[in-house]
């Protein structure tokens, strides 16, 4: 399964798409959230992709690879918490929240597979 370019992986494509969707939605958040919710949700969602890039370059070191994928998973989980705040603060609808959480869970499932099967990557 080893793909040469991490950008070709399903997990990267889904994580990048989710980060871009969050970016677009977060443009509607109130200005007073700029330095908290808006910046944090953008940062955590993007960090999934950046940590994946770092991990992929360290595949020859299994422990380092797993550590970076674990970082990806942590950032993805953080994104889910920020999505909860966005919903409960009434910045996004329940439908948007549910849709984004489902996408985040898909990314999480793919990352979990990588954590449990690093030799396949």
pTM for this prediction:
0.93
CB 11 within 8 A of CB 68: no
Residues in the chain: 121
Could you say which DSSP state residue 38 is in?
I
Residues 6+ apart with CB under 8 A from 63: none
CA dist 118 and 27 (Å) reads 36
How high is the pLDDT of residue 3?
60
Q: For 96-110, write each residue's pLDDT tens digit.
A: 999 999 999 999 999
Nearest to 69 by CA among 31, 34, 120: 120
Name the phi and psi angles at 5, rounded to 5.
-110, 120
How high is the pLDDT of residue 105?
98
Where the chain has pLDDT below 50, the residues are: 1
Helix axes 94-116 and 62-88, enclosed angle (nearest 10): 170
Could you give the domains of the chain? 6-120 (1.20.1440.60)
How high is the pLDDT of residue 1?
47
CB 105 within 8 A of CB 83: no
CA distances from 2 to 9, 59, 98, 110, 114 (A): 9, 10, 32, 14, 11
């Amino acid at each position: 399964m080893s793909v040469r370019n991490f950008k070709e992986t399903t997990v990267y494509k889904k994580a990048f798409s989710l980060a871009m969707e969050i970016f677009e939605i977060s443009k509607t958040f109130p200005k007073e959230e700029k330095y908290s919710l808006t910046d944090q949700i953008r940062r955590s969602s993007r960090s999934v992709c950046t940590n994946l890039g770092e991990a992929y370059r360290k595949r020859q070191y299994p422990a380092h690879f797993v550590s970076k994928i674990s970082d990806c998973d942590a950032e993805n989980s953080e994104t889910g918490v920020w999505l909860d705040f966005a919903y409960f603060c009434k910045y996004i609808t329940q439908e948007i929240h549910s849709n984004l959480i489902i996408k985040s869970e898909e990314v999480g499932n793919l990352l979990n597979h990588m954590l449990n099967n690093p030799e396949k990557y």
